[in-house]
Amino acid sequence: MKESGAAHFGMKIRNVRLSKGYKQEYIAHRIGIGQAGYSKIETGETALTLDRAFAIAKALDMSLVELIEWHQE
């Protein structure tokens, strides 16, 4: 089964968050949603709006372009 775009991007967000040592609760608080809602973003259960993607990138201390282009080394 092919992975959805939302699931792929959610996994990327999760990997960036973990690489920076942030907890889900911290990012969720910074973007103004609950931890459960944020978890659904990382698992791809909830598709992102562009505004929410910008907010998550900012909470991760990076630009949206940096988040999109990020790859684990």
Average pLDDT for consecutive 10-residue bins of the chain (73 residues)? 78 96 98 97 93 98 95 72
Does the global pTM surpass 0.85? yes
Record: fold of 5-69? 434 Repressor (Amino-terminal Domain) (1.10.260)
Domain boundaries, the chain: 5-69
**For the chain, how many residues are written?**
73
| pLDDT on residue 2 | 54
Residue linked to tokens 């562009």: 50
- Integer Cα distance of 48 and 13 in angstroms: 11
Question: In 58-71, which positions are buried (b, 16+ CB within 10 angstroms) versus exposed (e)?
Answer: ebbebeeeebeebe
Q: What is the dihedral of CA 2, 33, 31, 22, to 10 degrees?
A: -70
